[in-house]
Structure 1
Amino acid sequence: MIVLGSSGSIGLNALRLAREHNLKVEALACKSNLKVLNSQIKEFAPKLVYIDDDSLKPLVNHKFVFSKNDGIESFLKACSDEIGSTKLINAFVGFDGLTPSVLGLKLGFDLALANKESLVVGGQFLDCAKITPIDSEHFGLKFLLKDRPKIHRLIITASGGAFYNRDIAALKDASVEDALKHPNWNMGAKITIDSATMVNKLFEVIEAFWLYGCKNIDAYIETKSLIHALIEFKDGSTTAHISKPDMRLAIAHAIGLGNQRIIENLDIQALQNITFELVDLDRYRAFSLKDELLKNPKIGAIINAANDEIVAGFLSKKVKFNSISDAIFDALDKFSSFRLDSLESVVEINKKVKDYIKIRYNT
């Protein structure tokens, strides 16, 4: 397999499974974590390597290294020529993951997708039937859809993030440090903030639409993160996907290890106090865009760009927590009439929105 984002949490878990199950790692790519990358090269001996930071390229301990100047496209084409069709795990973070998803499918790779933005901003340009999702919620939905009746409604769950119990009035003064304290999952900074705002769940709703073609999608808060997805079928039955919160399970199925013992089964007594709550739209303002986004999925490109820029501003302590949802609504008001009918237009709006938010909010 090829792992894009090998130094992140998904990449590290994928390589952990490769180690445990003796799987061949053909190529590795990361943004800038030279120390981790060199350690992975030593252990897995990949044929090709990519590091986004051009200045670090000479320091990578490998003969065949690509960097940003070469282009991720050149790296993937070289992988295709050298390795052929294989599993491509795209665990890049952010908008930069879109191009590898589009090109990976064109090159015939078996795409295991952990990059949310690929579907949020570019679902219309991807053959979603050929994608295996790496996400506890979408893995849960895929698992439940095997040999089932027609769908009535898809349901995904949310933990509520770091501020589920905090007074809404106090959110404007929420600190970065507090926002990064996710109660159940160990994730990167960006996605942890997205969990605190429920933007992450908004993105997962539109991902589910692109993956499974259903627009009747809801989310409920389940604070223990033990029930990841439910499906209501037209015959009146409902199924649920239940497991401990461990991303190795979704990754294992994506790379063909679905019949192996990956994690321990959940003790069902842990389900005694499970509750499902409606998403409080006063607390999680951005999630109120769910129905509008499902009606017009293309605006995901605008929402993603605004969120990307304003979250970076929050993490660098330049803006307040409440500015995140403000910026998203602001960008939609400003750019909602922009036509998004090509990959080029998606790239263009990504830059326009980020530039606008950067100036307006001083990020």
Structure 2
Amino acid sequence: MPELPKIISVDDHVIEPPGVWADRLPARYRETGPRVVRAPAEMDFVGGRFTFRMAEEGPPCDWWVYEDLRRPLTRLDAAVGYERDDVQVVGVTYEEMRPGCHSVPERLADMDANWIQSSLCFPTFPRFCGQTFTEARDRDLALLCVRAYNDWTIEEWAGGSGGRLIPLIIVPLWDPALAAAEVRRCAALGVHAVCFTEIPPRLGLPSVHTDHWDPFFAACAETGTTINMHIGSSSQMPSTSEDAPAAVGSTITFANTCFSLADWLMSGVFTRFPDLTIAYSEGQIGWIPYVLERADTVWKENRGWGGVADRVTRPPSELFREHVYGCFFDDPHGVRSLEEIGVGNVTYETDYPHSDSTWPHSRELAERQLAGLPAETVEAVVRGNAIRMLHLGPDGLWTGAAR
């Protein structure tokens, strides 16, 4: 196999430095906006979810505090550098994390060590699609927090990276018109990627089967902004019972992506917005061929009574290949199915710094899984498709950054 092209990872994460909001909110909000405090943490896993509370005794932990929310930073957030068996849901401080979790120079060094040229990073405290601010009581402050995060990720995180860190914005999900305005504001600054929830009703929001989101979708289509949906961006992970261990949900995380893709393919959104692009993050890809096959069968055989005859005018598999990207980091079955999925619909990720991350072995893993494939296929999967999806320069760098 020729030398592996430098990877563009479309799913990594940033742990926001403590000053993101304190440095950017108006003075009157700096004591009520998101801020970091230090206190011990107690944690449990109950009903398929981890629960957290501040404690009086124990090792120190850094917490984000905002309205009634107390959100600790955990080793699960910043797992790189630890042996797998040492990755536990325990509280950590910034000093205990690998600096690349939150600092640009160290992140770039860790990318170099992992054969990564460029990286798209999801937020941590705002959660994967900004749910933290959508759930807030004070919507005026929440909107300022959304804009402050976006300004930080554009100006400091991506802007200080020489084009290697690609900005991914959040929007005020509680108002599609405001969301559309934020997409356009950031697109004017060179941003072409926005977070969205995989299953909106799980956040108490209208589904993609309504026209509620049309202003937001229209803004994304007009500006070439790809809608990125990370597993867990519905604030629920799949599981089977309240007493199932976390490993059950971790095994079937792709199910949320599967449900979401069926929603979008049968929604008619792609009929109304033929220039819209969506992308799924951390959902892997091996399950996609069956879902497309089944969706085509349902569309052909059952559309008379299935409620889609007037909104889905073409086979779902065709819509998928024109509008949807999936991504993977360790999916040998998916690699064997690339032709069925569509070589042009698959991207690569490393999930830095989470517990599933392949850092610092992403290059070796990609070389092993992609061995024997044509050079042009490897190029498309590890970088070419990401360049097209994110409107990067031909060199794989974000063109809105200082170069």
The TM-score with structure 2 as length reference comes to: 0.29
Larger relative helix fraction: 1
Structure with bigger RCO (C-alpha 8 Å, 6+ apart):
2
